[in-house]
Amino acid sequence: QKEVEQNSGPLSVPEGAIASLNCTYSDRGSQSFFWYRQYSGKSPELIMFIYSNGDKEDGRFTAQLNKASQYVSLLIRDSQPSDSATYLCAVWETSYDKVIFGPGTSLSVIP
């Protein structure tokens, strides 16, 4: 089973700033990549998925994928205190036909 790694965190950013969350994966055959948000005591919620190189934007969120570098990131623009949560990166590993989750990065947006 391959690995999915994320910044250890916690990551603190001031309100209104850009939060950058990073994720690397080891299975070169991976095809789909996901970002989930998990509030404390709640279950993960799908924010975005991406499977093509480049950027995918949805409101204040932008996912960036670079398959050559095996790197996927999530940018949150105009960060709000309500964005404070743990962000989980997940990768669909084609070799194993299943999703592997990273350990998550805790984000704190300071008012």
Partner 1 sequence: EAGVAQSPRYKIIEKRQSVAFWCNPISGHATLYWYQQILGQGPKLLIQFQNNGVVDDSQLPKDRFSAERLKGVDSTLKIQPAKLEDSAVYLCASSSVPTRGQFFGPGTRLTVL
Chain positions 82 to 101 lying near partner 1, rule: CB under 8 A, are 88, 90, 92, 96-101
Q: How do strand 85-93 and strand 32-38 relate by DSSP bridges?
A: antiparallel
CA–CA separation, 37 vs 48, rounded Å? 10
Nearer to partner 1, 41 or 54 (CB): 41
From the CB of 15, what's the least distance to partner 1, in Å? 26
Nearer to partner 1, 49 or 61 (CB): 49
Q: By CB under 8 A, is residue 61 in contact with partner 1?
A: no
What is the spatial order of strands in the sheet that 71-76 belongs to?
4-6, 19-25, 71-76, 61-66, 54-58
User: What are the residues binding partner 1 (CB under 8 A)?
Assistant: 4, 31-32, 34, 42-46, 49, 51, 88, 90, 92, 96-104
